[in-house]
Every structure is written in C-alpha cells, then in structure tokens.
Homo-oligomer: A and B are copies of this chain.
C-alpha cells in the first residue's frame, strides 16, 4: 500500500512528459507545425533527454499518436459495447461529446502530407479507422439481425458513412469557426439511420 502510494506520487519521468507534450502539441498544431524544441519546452525536458528516449521527432510522434489512438479507440469501444439496442449505440457514437473545434486528435493528421507519406506515422490512423469502421459495421449487422434496421443495406458502407460524417463534421465546424455544423451533420446521420429503422 505504501509502495503504491509512493509510485502514485513519484514525479512523472521525462519520457512520459515528452509523450504527453507531443500528444497535446500534435492535436493543437499538427505534425508539420510541431517542432522538437516546442515539445521539449512544453515537457520541461532538454534535447539530450528527448534523444535519449527517442530517435527523433518522428519516433516520438509515432509513440504519441499511438497512445492518442488507443485512448480514442477505448472510448469508442466502451460506447459501442455498452447497453442499448444497436440503433441506440450507433446514435450514441454519433452524439458522443467531443471537443469539436479542436478537431479529431486522430483524423486531423490525415491532412498532413509528411505524416501520411510515412507508413509508420500513418499506421495509428489507418488501424484506428479500420477498427472503428469494422466495429460499427458489426453493430449495424447486429441491428439487422435483430430486425431493428432494414437488411437491404451493406453494413460496412453504412459504417463508413457514419465514421466519415463525424470526421467531416469536424471539418465543417472548424471551417465555420463554431461547433453547430458538426451537430447538424451528426443529427442528419441520426435522422438517416432512423429512416433505416422504420
């Protein structure tokens, strides 16, 4: 018990501070807009510490992106495997509270040409969206099997459209400088899903 307490109170080490600083800055500024120096400054870590723990900016960014992707995936899974009918869980995914104007901490990086050109940096994006689409397709198929949703649509295509609506909702909100377009887009998807249920 005392051991646990000591561990809890121990200062977060430099590696951990670097990863968390990179997560924040990547979300806020993107990969091309984030310098190694800015990460070190925010982490309160020196250049030597950064290059002790990581081979460089790409290595640190990959670690940070993977951690962000894992967090987002866990949040979506909790929602999709929770209580409720298939339609309720899909609606819950669309209406999940998000920091709309900050953009998606995973999807925002798809616009960065350097990041998508590097297979290792792109991997957390690719695997997260592949997983999310497959998971939503399972829930759509569950709803079809339960007779809750019409059976004459392709679950994978509907799932892709739902994930895309959320990602595009961020684009519309940030383009407008206000969160409402995100909500209008996701409510439109909720209405289209509801039409599948009737």
> Closest chain B residue to A150 by CB distance?
B195
List residues of chain B with CB within 8 A of the CB of A130: 176
- A175 interface neighbour in B29, B116, B168, Cβ under 8 Å: B116
Q: A167 to B103, alpha carbons, bound, how many Å? A: 13
List residues of chain B with CB within 8 A of the CB of A172: 110, 129, 133, 160, 163-164, 167
Q: Count copies of this chain in the complex.
A: 2
- A167 interface neighbour in B156, B162, B171, Cβ under 8 Å: B171
Q: A51 to B170, alpha carbons, bound, how many Å? A: 35
- A108 interface neighbour in B111, B128, B189, Cβ under 8 Å: B111
Interface residues on A, range: 35 or more
Q: A32 to B30, alpha carbons, bound, how many Å? A: 10
A161 interface residue, CB < 8 Å from B?
Answer: yes
- The stretch among A11-19, A39-47, A55-63, A180-188 that forms the contact with chain B is A180-188
18 A-B pairs within 8 Å (CB atoms) are namely: A28-B113, A104-B171, A125-B175, A129-B176, A129-B181, A130-B176, A133-B172, A153-B191, A153-B192, A154-B188, A160-B169, A160-B188, A161-B185, A161-B187, A164-B166, A164-B185, A171-B171, A195-B195
Which A residues fall within an 8 A CB radius of B? 28-30, 32-33, 103-104, 106-114, 116, 119, 122, 125-126, 128-130, 133, 150, 153-154, 156-172, 174-177, 181, 184-189, 191-193, 195-196
